[in-house]
Amino acid sequence: MSIIRTITRLLSGLRTAGNRSVTWMAPHQEGCVVCGKAFGQAQPAEVRSGGAPAAARLLNHSLCISCRSSIPWLERILCPICGRGIHCEDCGRRPNRHFVLNRSAVTYDPVMRSWLALYKYRGLERLAPLLAEMLVPPFLKLTEELAKAAPAAPSLPRNAGIHPFRIALHNRSLKNQPANGIWDAVAFVPISAERAEERGFNQAAELARYLSRRYGIPSYDLLVRAHHSEKMSFKSRAERMRVAKSLFEVNESSLKELEALHADASRELRVLLIDDIYTTGSTVEACSEVLLRHACQPLKVYVLTWSRS
């Protein structure tokens, strides 16, 4: 017994050493990614990070203390639908919602607004992994809730007609710890071709890609933005709802592929839809609506956004 214990201890020691060596070997960072201030000698390791230690490491190593402590984590959720920290009437006002619920990482306060602007409008793509890492706590919490409610999906057989890579990815996602077969796909809110040309990247897609890679959930381009609209941030609530209605279309081939992969699934398909910000919910509502309309199988859309305004 004692040998086994020794070996276990040795292994865990090795693992921590390995983890630490990663931080030692990481390229020397000259300062905080956001404010550029140089780090003090002593960066306290432990910091509140939305209740999840998983998010802590990257945040610890790329943010200074004052930036880290200025993150307004959304930990106490009072509206079970839109994930707000206050009770809200919006969700009551929308009788036929097409997504199940929304969860956000942070409250959209001026500091978060400036961070998002730095990334989205300035184009500081260095921030992408950091912002995506901030999605991890709500993602894990949501996954946990779902895992409690329903048993995991079975592993996929090697049946014909589906690309073997997809099957491998699917099966790997089952083995991979926390996601554990809860999610069938990660999707993201698309941007228009004009915006893509101008900005050079899609922030929601980058966030989705990060989660997909980290938890082994396959990512799909399920949606296409049909036509270019003015920036949503210049619009009123009613305007947003009206415009958002006809904004999105489904990428048929991608949806077909997803459905074929899960043709004999025992439960409905679960899609995690990612966006950077949830304001009135009209964007994700429009996306979910069009997804449900085109889906041939029962499908549920869960929304995960970076910030909740």
> Which positions touch other proteins (CB under 8 A)?
122-126, 196-202
Closest contact distance (angstroms) between CB of 159 and other proteins is 30
Residue among 51 and 123 whose Cβ is closer to other proteins: 123
**How far does CA 232 lie from the centroid of its chain?**
20
Residue among 205 and 244 whose Cβ is closer to other proteins: 205
Closest contact distance (angstroms) between CB of 119 and other proteins is 11
Encoded tokens for 104: 């956000």
Residue 160 CA: distances (Å) to CA of 173, 255, 257, 296 = 20, 18, 13, 20
Q: How far apart are CA 286 and CA 297, in angstroms?
A: 19
Closest contact distance (angstroms) between CB of 52 and other proteins is 27
Q: Please, which contacts does 160-168 make with residues 24 or more away whose CB atoms are closer than 8 Å?
A: 161/260, 162/257, 162/260, 162/261, 163/257, 166/218, 166/257, 166/261, 167/261
Residue among 124 and 241 whose Cβ is closer to other proteins: 124
Type of residue numbered 17? A
Closest contact distance (angstroms) between CB of 278 and other proteins is 23
Residue among 127 and 185 whose Cβ is closer to other proteins: 127
Residue with the two structure tokens 């040998």? 3
Give the contacts of 162 (CB within 8 A, at least 6 positions apart): 156, 257, 260, 261
Residue among 20 and 199 whose Cβ is closer to other proteins: 199
Residue among 30 and 230 whose Cβ is closer to other proteins: 30
Under 8 Å between Cβ of 66 and 253: no
Closest contact distance (angstroms) between CB of 112 and other proteins is 19
Dihedral angle computed from the Cα positions of residues 302, 306, 308 and 309, in that order, rounded to the nearest 10 degrees: -140
Closest contact distance (angstroms) between CB of 201 and other proteins is 6
